[in-house]
Amino acid sequence: MSTVERLGLRVLRAFDPETAHGLALAALRARLAPLPGPVTSDRLKTRLAGLALPNPLGLAAGFDKNAVALGPLQLAGFGFLEVGAATPRPQPGNPKPRLFRLSEDRAAINRFGFNNEGAAAIGARLAARPAGLPVGLNLGANKDSADRAADFAEVLRICGPSCDFATVNVSSPNTERLRELQGPAALEALLAGVLAARAGLAHPLPVFLKIAPDLTDADLADIAAVVRASGIDGVIATNTTLARSGLRSGHHLEKGGLSGQPLFERSTRVLAKLSALLPGTPLIGVGGVGSAAQAYAKIRAGAAAVQLYTALVYEGLGLIPRLLEELDALLKADGFGSVAEAVGTGREDWE
C-alpha cells in the first residue's frame, strides 16, 4: 500500500462509515485513487457464463449502488463490476446509522435496505458508461411493493438493455421477509418472471442468483434443484450473514448483514457444497476475500470468478493489482495455465 493511499484511508476512517463511503466514491470520480487499468495475463483471462473477463476478480454489488463511478472503476484493475442493488422506484433505505466498521474483525455490518436512486436513473448511467469491462446489475425489490417478485423483472426490463449480466438478489437480510423468496416455490416463480423479462430483451444476458450463507444443506439442495430447472446461468455465493460468532468489535450486536473476514469460511463452505450440487454451473465466490490466497481458495472450491468489497475499506483499491499479481503467481506455482483449470480442484478441502 502506498503512503498516499495509507494516508487517504486514515482520513476516511475519521468519518462515520457511510460518509466515508460517499467521500471514497467522490475521490474515485476525481481520479484520486490508483487506476492502473484492468490487470490481466494469459493465466488470468477467463470466461464467465459467456462473458470474456481480463481476470476473475470482480467488484461486488453495494460499493457503487447508483452506478456513479463506472468510468474510474473500470480502470481500478477489476475484471468485471456489479452495481446496485436497484429497485423499480427510488427509496431511501433504512434509518441511519446503518453501516458499521468492525475494525478488530476486518469486517462490516450494514442494514442499508436497498437504498438507491431507482432503476430509471441507474439504467441511464449504465447506458452512458464508457466501453470496457462487463458490468452487471444487482436486482432488488421495493420495501413497500405489493409484488416483490415482479419488481425484479421490472428492474431487468428497465435496465437490461444497458448491462452485461443481472443478479437476482433474494438474500439481503435487510429487507423484511425478502429471504423468504429463497424458498423453492417462491424462487421458481420469481425466476420464471425474471427470465420472461430477459426473453423480451433484444440482447439476452446471463442471469445469476445470489444466495445467503445461512442456508441448511436441505435449503441448498432445494435451491440447486430450482437452478437446474429454471435455466438461469449461475449462482453467486454468498451474500452477508446474520451469524455473529467469534467477533471482537463493540459493534458486533448491531442488526444487519455481516461481511468481511469472518464470513470467509462460512461462505466458502456454501460455495463448495453448491459446486458439488451444480457441476458445470458457473459460480461466483464472494464473502471475506481480502487476499490472493483467499481468492484462490474460492476458485479451487468451485468459483469460476470471485468478488470482493469489504476488504477495500481496510486495504484500499491498491489491493486489486497486488491481489491479482499474487493470484497469477499462485496459479503458475501449481502448474495451472488458466483460472478455468483450477476451478473446483480443492473442493474436497471445504466439504
Provide the H-helix boundaries in the chain.
Answer: 3-12, 17-29, 70-73, 119-128, 148-159, 184-199, 217-230, 264-277, 292-301, 310-315, 319-333, 339-342
Greatest Cα-to-Cα distance within the chain, rounded to the nearest angstrom? 54
Contact call for residues 21 and 93 (beta carbons, < 8 A)? no
Quick count: other Cβ atoms within 10 Å of Cβ 264? 19
Q: Give dist(CA 204, CA 51) in Å, integer.
A: 12
- DSSP-assigned beta bridge partners for residue 116: 91
**DSSP string computed for 231-283:** T--EEEE---B---TT--STTTT-SSEEEEGGGHHHHHHHHHHHHHHSTTS-E
Q: Collapsing DSSP states into helix, strand and coil, what is residue 169? A: strand
Please tell me which residue in 172, 259, 267, 275 is annotated as part of the active site: 172
CB atoms within 10 A of CB 330: 18
CA distance 235 to 35: 29
Left if phi > 0, otherwise alpha if psi is -120 to 50, otherwise beta: which for 28? alpha
Q: Is 171 a catalytic residue?
A: no
Collect all residues with Cβ–Cβ distance below 8 Å to 11 and sequence separation of at least 6.
none
- Pairing state between β 51-53 and 257-260: unpaired
Active site residues: 172
